[in-house]
Amino acid sequence: MECWSAKFSSVKMIEASLSPVTASLANGCDAVCAFVNDDCGAETLEALAACGVGCVAMRCAGYDRVDLSMAESLGIVVLRVPAYSPHSAEPQRSFACMTRLSKRTRQHMFAGNYALSGLVGFDMHGKTCGIIGTGLIGRCTAAILLGMGCRVLAYDPFPNQTARDMGIEYVELEELLASSRSALCGQDETRHLINKHTISLLKPGAMIINTSRGGLLDTAAAVEGLDSRKIGALGMDVYEEEGGVDAGRRRVAQVLGALASRPNVLVTPHMAFLTADALEAIAEVTAENLAEFVASRHDPSLTFTNQVLP
């Protein structure tokens, strides 16, 4: 990228994921640029600090794999890209999942099967959809649903007026699950927020879409929910132990493979963000973040636009 070579004296591209084992490859660098599933735990950060690295620039919004307290105690600045395409990429993916699952067109993926048997779907118009978390992405997804004539309920511990003004109705999580035909987990991670208990509260046959963070959905409970038909359809762009898939761990791959082979489940490889426009925006903001870090080395009073603190 032009913006990178113009801003920095040297950029080293390393293919390996960041981990305690690979951290030493950053020896002599001022900063590292990491992605969503890189291991930025305590051990990696200590190894980076020992190499003289003073900044971890995440080229993504999520930072759940960064040990922020350890980074702070080591004096490592953590930066991220808070929003790069909230108006398109992630809501687009949620919408694609919903329409694909609602029309049950997945069978068409198998070559030559053009029979209509088993392909009866349902109209989204007039259905009630629940959004868990009404940040940027949740609101953009809600706008699509409202445009399709859905009623949109939402749960968020920090409701916002913009969402209310759009016509989103805030309710408690239990009411959202019990009333919605479709529940979308679009937002911040809360481990196993959707678990055996919360799944038991769902309207029978509801669709769940998770494009947020894998840890939000208890996969084992989701499998049980699908078996009992409490969950009618499941779309997952993110899943627990994603790092395990990247590392080729067989068990995680098997669980996902078994899930993906069900006709009412759609699994995609954490790609909601993946559009050319988003990649461009991510590269530009990351370069700006790193430039701020370099400038701060000369003037410690400077602050960072996109710093993540514990």
175 touching ligand NAI, by CB under 6 A: no
- What is the crossing angle of helices 89-102 and 136-147, to 10°? 40
Least Å from the CB of residue 210 to ligand NAI: 9
95 touching ligand NAI, by CB under 6 A: no
Scanning residues 221 to 240, which ones bind ligand NAI (CB under 6 A)?
237-238
The whole-angstrom separation of Cα 183 and Cα 212 is 12
Question: Among 189, 224, 241, 246, which residue sits at the site for ligand NAI (rule: CB under 6 A)?
Answer: 189
155 touching ligand NAI, by CB under 6 A: yes
Contact criterion met (CB below 8 Å) for 265 and 236: yes
- What is the crossing angle of helices 250-260 and 219-227, to 10°? 30
Catalytic residue among 80, 90, 181, 242: 242
Catalytic residue among 93, 213, 240, 292: 213
26 residue type, one letter: A
273 touching ligand NAI, by CB under 6 A: yes
The whole-angstrom separation of Cα 222 and Cα 75 is 40
- CB nearer to ligand NAI: pick between 138 and 225: 138
Q: Is 250 a catalytic residue?
A: no
The whole-angstrom separation of Cα 201 and Cα 194 is 10
Catalytic residue among 59, 93, 139, 270: 270
Q: Is 242 a catalytic residue?
A: yes
The whole-angstrom separation of Cα 181 and Cα 193 is 18
Least Å from the CB of residue 10 to ligand NAI: 29
Q: With 0-12 CB in 10 A as exposed, 13-18 as middle and 19+ as buried, what is 12?
A: exposed
Least Å from the CB of residue 267 to ligand NAI: 12
- CB nearer to ligand NAI: pick between 47 and 131: 131
Contacts of 233 (CB under 8 A, 6+ apart): 101, 102, 207, 208, 264, 265, 266
Q: Is 270 a catalytic residue?
A: yes
83 touching ligand NAI, by CB under 6 A: yes
User: Looking at the annotation, which residues are catalytic?
Assistant: 213, 242, 270
Residues of this chain that bind ligand NAI (CB under 6 A): 61-62, 83, 86, 90, 132-138, 155-158, 186-190, 211-213, 237-238, 270, 272-273
